[in-house]
Chain A
Amino acid sequence: MIAKKLRGRVARPIPSNAGIGLRARHYLDILSAPPAVGWFEAHSENYFAEGGLPLYYLERIRSDYPLSLHGVGLSLGSTDSLNIAHLRKLKSLIERFEPGLVSEHLSWGSVSERYFNDLLPLPYTEEALTHVICRIMQVQDFLSRQILIENVSSYLQYRQSTIPEWEFLAEISARSGCGILLDVNNIHVSAVNHRFDPLAYLHAIPAGAVQEIHLAGFDNSGECLIDTHATAVCDDVWTLYGHALAHVGNVPTLIEWDTDIPALPVLLEEARKADALLQEVRRERSA
């Protein structure tokens, strides 16, 4: 019921082209020479303060660009109670900035109110599925809007898992009414780490549920690929992104770069690459 009510209720739409993650080191560059980029995505928790410089810059940038809010702290998969104070802050931020999209992760990060401040993978079991669906619906009820859920990179799998991650994600979307934020880099990283076919993952995702795509870079630790967001998007991920667009169509695509953040033009160049692929899909679909 709630799922039907919430689907598609967004205040200011994010355009179907490339955006970049908003980072403090780029504030002044963005304001002094507003770049030709479709939209920005801000990490919600970075703007939970009650005032000061970060909110000032977010206001300025929000007045010129569509904005999405991407959270890392809700710990949706935890068996702890939802942190209502955190949720209230998110709601207040949403009311102030009217983001086109609001997203969180398919992960957990706390036990007994001790936080790992990480996006830990869930076991893909019926119990976890029911739990996460219930939590997402609670959050959507509280926020009175749909949220998107992002697939995370993972470095381990649990023996108790009985459902492939892609089925788990698709089922969550179908039963909670949440949208999907498809992180193509995370699919690649997890596919290498767990030896599954990334295309099988992609094709199991309901195309209509995907409202945003993330692209980022990773590092190789030797044992595993690590989702560091510290490098450019690699060729394999660009190829997989092409497949993703062929499957889901034109979807707003974010370039994420959170560590060793480069100068703004480097991010804009990555965004231009994504835009070129989005443009290609647009042409093919209109032909």
Chain B
Amino acid sequence: MSQLAALQRAFQTHILHANDAIQQAITGTPLAPATERLGIYSTAYRLRLLEALQTDYTALHAALGDEDFEQLCFAFIAAFPSTYPNLRWFGANMDAYLKATPPYLDIPVLAELASFEWAKGLTFDAADEDRLTIQDMAAIPGADWGRMTFQTHPSVQRLDFFSNAPLIWKAVAAAADPPQPSYTEEPLSWIIWRQNLSVYFRSLDKDEAWAIDSLLHGVNFAEICTGLCEWVDELHASQHAAGLLKGWLESGMIRSVHFKT
């Protein structure tokens, strides 16, 4: 190993594992000995990553309070050293960490808050792409509608939550008192998307959630109509599917249409 590589590895060991071997490579002064000088970097490392997590997880922060949030973040930083040159991505594993780590795993709303906040971030800066409009749809012959499949806009995210995490986030964002965490037996479905540069989210009824999930999996429109018969009678299934599609188009959730036999 080169001298430079060895020095950098020793520096890393100091920052990540508080190993002091690097100290002998540092010039200290009486006012600022080597330990103090190294300490500036190791402290800054943790504070910088903490700040990134504070930016990404405002509602999780509010739910836990300053002290517990900091404790969580420092544990997360130790468990997941940054593998990203861009801090934008550092917090990517927070929901997985909360789901797997005591005591957080016993409070499922925390992981769901983290999932929701991370998904909102992904929606916020997802790729700019064209969107399919109702006018585009009007040009498609009726005979081809059954074969239509759709690509959603890159900003669209589908999530299911057992808790009221999105409502807690909404209250925190409005600087209101957040509701107490509550849970349902069955998960509630949510969709997050971006329109006109703003991020939106709403809950979905079971039929719409199923239809969106089918659409995301490349199921064609005829099959979606058939599947919706579980919730509406056969006579109205196509009309219901068309109504859902109109809503998605008006919300800018659909990127493009394709045709599949």
Query: Do chains A and B stick together as partners?
Result: yes
Residues on A close to B: CB < 8 A? 45, 48-56, 73-75, 78-79, 83, 86, 108-118, 120, 122-123, 125, 127-128, 131, 155-160, 193, 195, 221, 223-224, 226
Chain A residues contacting B48 (CB-CB under 8 Å) are: 117-118
> Most chain-B CB neighbours within 10 Å: which of A86, A115, A221, A226?
A115
Contact present for B15 and A116 (CB under 8 Å): yes
Contact present for B82 and A115 (CB under 8 Å): yes
Q: Beyond A111-B12, A159-B25, A223-B37, is A49–B88 a contact (Cβ under 8 Å)?
A: yes
> Most chain-A CB neighbours within 10 Å: which of B48, B81, B83, B86?
B86
CB closest chain-A residue, reference B194: A52
| Number of A-B residue pairs with CB-CB distance less than 8 Å in the complex they form | 135
Contact present for B124 and A158 (CB under 8 Å): no
A74 to B38, CA, bound (A): 22
Chain A residues contacting B52 (CB-CB under 8 Å) are: 117
Contact present for A127 and B197 (CB under 8 Å): no
Chain A residues contacting B154 (CB-CB under 8 Å) are: 50-51
Q: Is the interface of B mostly helix, strand, loop or mixed?
A: helix
- 15 sampled A-B residue pairs with Cβ under 8 A: A50-B127, A50-B128, A51-B154, A53-B124, A73-B85, A115-B84, A116-B82, A117-B49, A122-B4, A127-B3, A158-B7, A158-B25, A160-B3, A195-B29, A221-B40
Contact present for A50 and B197 (CB under 8 Å): no
Q: Is B100 interfacial (CB 8 A cutoff)?
A: no
A127 to B7, CA, bound (A): 12
Contact with A along B65-84 (1 / 0, CB 8 A): 00000000000000001111
**Shortest Cβ gap from B34 to chain A (Å):** 7
Chain B residues contacting A155 (CB-CB under 8 Å) are: 32, 37, 40-41
Contact present for A75 and B27 (CB under 8 Å): no
Q: Beyond A52-B124, A155-B37, is A78–B86 a contact (Cβ under 8 Å)?
A: no
Q: Beyond A156-B34, A159-B26, is A51–B85 a contact (Cβ under 8 Å)?
A: no
Contact present for A45 and B31 (CB under 8 Å): no
Chain B residues contacting A226 (CB-CB under 8 Å) are: 40
**Shortest Cβ gap from A155 to chain B (Å):** 4
Contact present for A113 and B41 (CB under 8 Å): no
**Shortest Cβ gap from B108 to chain A (Å):** 29
A83 to B26, CA, bound (A): 28
**Shortest Cβ gap from B251 to chain A (Å):** 16
Q: What 12 additional pairs, Cβ within 8 angstroms, besides A117-B48, A156-B40? A: A50-B125, A50-B128, A51-B155, A55-B125, A73-B85, A110-B85, A111-B11, A123-B7, A125-B3, A125-B4, A160-B3, A223-B37
Contact present for A79 and B2 (CB under 8 Å): yes
Contact with A along B1-32 (1 / 0, CB 8 A): 01111011101100110000000111101011
A86 to B52, CA, bound (A): 19
Contact with A along B29-57 (1 / 0, CB 8 A): 10110101110110011001100100000
Chain A residues contacting B25 (CB-CB under 8 Å) are: 158-160
